[in-house]
Structure 1
Amino acid sequence: MAQNQSLSTQEVADILHVSKSTIYDLIRKGEIHSYKIGRKVRFTQEDVDAYIARSRHEHSTAPVQRIDTHSTLLTPAEEKAPEMIISGQDVVLDILANYLHQEDINAGRTYLSSFEGLLALYQGKVDAAACHLYDGKECNASFVRSLMPGVSAVLVNLSYRTQGFYVRKSNPKHITGWEDLRRADISILNRRVGSSSRILLDTQLKKLEIPSGQLKGYDKIMSSHLTMASAVAAGDADLAIGTERITHQLEGLDFIPLLEERFDLVLQKESLENPAVVKMLAILSSPVFRREVTHFSGNDYRDLGKIIMEV
């Protein structure tokens, strides 16, 4: 089946050899990602691959705990508090947490944006926060400095990936870059406040001195890169900002690359001597882990596990 094909609930059930009701239960529990086109639930092959990647490890380890960082209480199902909590929204982090479970380290996961994750790390609610924020000059470091004042931190690389514009197939509006946001005939889609795509957009608008109110669709908020890309492909808007790999999952879409972003895992420097963190860094640097995440994600992992900088 083509990588960019949209999968129905029945097709996913057939791939996993389970019933449709099981798939709906997995969606309800948040164990498999999906999106909606109208009232129909759809999946990408990456959603299925990610679920399989996480599930492959669960025969030998407990499932990853999902943690609500807005509450200090554990739910009844969380009988044992996690030894470490990893924040971020990439499937690589789910795979990492499962590898930690295999090493008898009880790792929890919370799915915060980069901005929210850094705040949670500063507040001591998480132990590691994935971050991909661009301030117009550099990735991540300036946000770590401003959101974690007085805290010494290290940035461990996870991957590099390309951010750009999603546009309809064949680019009918002939969009080429940021300057096209000045055009009155261009409509966009946006993400919620605090998301990396929203911060990137707002940074560029400020740099170009374009008032946000001038952009048609600026206040039309979408839940994910995938839902934005699907809407652009359907002709609901002319462009949206997101990562390149989404374009390999959908038909009717082209991509205009704008910049390479660095995706890092931020840790407080004092935690580097923590045995769980030592083990996590060893996993990130291992050839076995690199092979697995390369297969399921498709980003550039040339510096995976390396400490890129101290802030």
Structure 2
Amino acid sequence: MHRLQLNYTLSKDSSPALVRNPLIDLLQAVSTQGSISGGARALGLSYRHVWGELKRWENELGNELVIWEKGQSALLTEFGNKLMWAERQAQARLAPQIEALRAELERSYALAFDDSVHVVTLYASHDDALSALREHALQGIALKLEHEPVRLHLDIRFTGSVDAIRALNEGRCVMAGFHTLQGLGKKTLTERTYKPLLQPGQHKIIGFAQRTQGLMVTRGNPLGLNRLQDVVRHRARFANRTLGSGTRVVLDELLTQSGLLASEMNGYGRTEPSHAAVAQAVAAGQCDAGLGIAAAAQQAGLDFVPLALERYHLVCLKSALTQPGILALLQLLQTRAWQDKMAAIPGYTAQDSGQVLSMRKVLPWWDYRYHKVQA
């Protein structure tokens, strides 16, 4: 079976919305004009080009399209006529949907030509507050840069914390989001994970939020899982996060602090891609507990047992701090309206939201002088 690919063009002209393959135009012209030369003239193309394209399409589709008889009018084969019929049927049935698709694309592209609109591409560890921020920005919150009104659109791709920072370093986004436990010192897994990815003078940390990580358990917490030690003692079925996620790093840090080994966790190797997925696994009875945020637990109808506080950071390259989109984002994060909205999300409070912070202040294991000597 041959697969379809859809393409579109950008133009200043106002024209009907069409999703049409060039082959159909060739067949239509040849059929209407009765010859390849006539079809070529009607399309403003050379005979050689039209003839070559028809032959190429016959090879591609494995069927003849035109009856090639010298001295006779060009006729479409049965297969060629069936293609024309299929096109007419599809166009008749899909015209409203095609027009709606074109209108939606035009609305999206209108943003690209609007100097007041700024798009910030952000790769980040999964976070409910970031999803809320994206919707908050779409409401057209009043922002101004150099006294001119601006609109902000956040293009957020949720991925693991490690992958998010790598995406930033590889130029696939202009900002990344990751999170770390509060109060960690040096020589920890968190340091070993993030230190190679972040460089003082090159990266800038921006405050975003403080949030609580804890155990998501079924309503009533029937197994009495109040600590990771309880999870191990009861051999409770656990749902972990994927390697490279910030929550996986947090879990490993908490296990170390509790004197536990990963091998003691029943289900350490079972992974889910997000807080919501872990919560759903618990709600469906596929496991007894998982580490996550309070908002995900509440949405799934679960109980939440707080275990630790962490900071959720945003990071960008120093050179990006002058970009209009980043400036608009920092301004939005500092508004009272946004900070109040964040406070309404279970387990979240604003912390230095929108403030450019010292890396050593928020990542105390990052000692620039020590790093410089080691280098």
Q: Same fold (TM over 0.5)?
A: yes
More deviation, 200-209/258-267:
200-209
Q: Is the 8 A contact 1:96 1:284 kept in 2?
A: no
Cα offsets for 1:205-247 (capped at 9, x unmatched): 3444533233221222223222322322343222100001122
- Structure 2: distance between partners of 1:92 and 1:233: 23
What amino acid sits opposite 2:221 in the alignment? N
For residues 189 and 204 of structure 2, what CA distance do their matches in structure 1 show? 11
CA distance in 1, matches of 2:314, 2:335: 16
Shift of 1:62: 3.8
1:22 counterpart residue number: none
Structure 2 residue 184 is matched with structure 1 residue 137: yes
* Counterpart residue number, 2:353: 304
2:208 matched to 1:155? no
SS in 1 for 2:239: coil
Who is 2:308 aligned against? Answer: 259
SS at 1:189's partner residue? strand
CA–CA separation in structure 2 for the residues paired with 1:295 and 1:62: 31
1:143-163 Cα deviation digits (max 9, x unpaired):
553212465322212221110
Rounded to whole Å, the distance in 2 between the matches of 1:181 and 1:223 is 21
Give me the TM-score of the superposition, normalised by structure 2. Answer: 0.54
Pairwise mapping of residues 213-224 of structure 1 onto structure 2 (< 5 A)?
Answer: 213-224=263-274
- Does 1:249 pair with 2:249? no
CA contact (8 A) 2:295 2:345 kept: no
SS of the equivalent of 1:272 reads helix
Q: Following TM superposition, by how much is the alpha carbon of 1:165 offset from its aligned partner in structure 2, in angstroms?
A: 0.3
- Superposed CA RMSD in Å reads 3.7
Counterpart pick for 1:182 among 221, 227, 232: 232
2:321 corresponds to which letter in structure 1? Answer: L
Report the counterpart of residue 278 of structure 2 in structure 1. 228
Identity %: 25
| Contact 1:132/1:263, CA 8 A, preserved across alignment | yes
Structure 1's unaligned 5+ residue stretches are 1-57, 66-76
Q: Given the superposition, is the C-alpha separation of residues 296 and 260 from structure 1 closer, same or farther in structure 2, using an over 3 Å criterion?
A: closer
Residues in 2 aligned to 1:210 and 1:64: alpha-carbon distance in whole angstroms: 55
Q: Who is 1:19 aligned against?
A: none
* Structure with larger Rg: 2
Call closer, same or farther: CA 1:298–1:260 in 2, change over 3 Å: closer
- Which residue matches 2:330? 281
Q: Is 1:94 aligned with 2:134?
A: yes
Q: How many pairs were matched up? A: 238
| Cα shift readout 1:95-153 (whole Å, capped 9, x = no counterpart) | 36645998256754322222111111122221111111338716998455321246532
Deviation readout 1:245-284 (Å, 9 max, x if unpaired): 1222233x21110111111211222322233322221122
Compared with structure 1, are the counterparts of its residues 107 and 224 closer, same or farther at alpha carbon in structure 2 (3 Å cutoff)? Answer: closer
8 Å CA contact retained: 1:86, 1:93? no
Are positions 1:165 and 2:201 aligned together?
no
Matches of 2:194 and 2:134, distance apart in 1? 23
| Structure-to-structure mapping, 1:92-131, within 5 angstroms | 92-95=132-135, 98=138, 103=150, 108-131=155-178
Change (3 A) 1:151 1:288: same
Q: Is the 8 A contact 2:247 2:291 kept in 1?
A: yes
Q: Check conservation: 1:135, 1:203, Cα contact below 8 A.
A: no
From the superposition, tell whether residues 64 and 227 of structure 1 become closer, same or farther in structure 2 (CA, over 3 Å).
Answer: farther
Q: 2:250 aligns with which of 187, 200, 204?
A: 200
Give the SS at the match of 2:238.
coil
Task: Give the AA of the match of 1:128.
Answer: M
The two structures have a TM-score, normalised by structure 1, of: 0.63
Is contact 2:293-2:347 (8 Å) kept? no
Distance 1:222 1:144 in 2: 22
Q: Please tell me whether the aligned partners of residues 212 and 294 of structure 2 are also in contact (alpha carbons under 8 angstroms).
A: yes
Point out the structure with the larger helix share. Answer: 2
Moved more, 276-285 or 235-244: 276-285
Higher relative contact order (CA 8 A, sep 6+): 1
Residue 123 of structure 2 aligns with an amino acid whose one-letter code is S
Q: Which runs of 4+ in 1 moved over 6 A?
A: 138-141
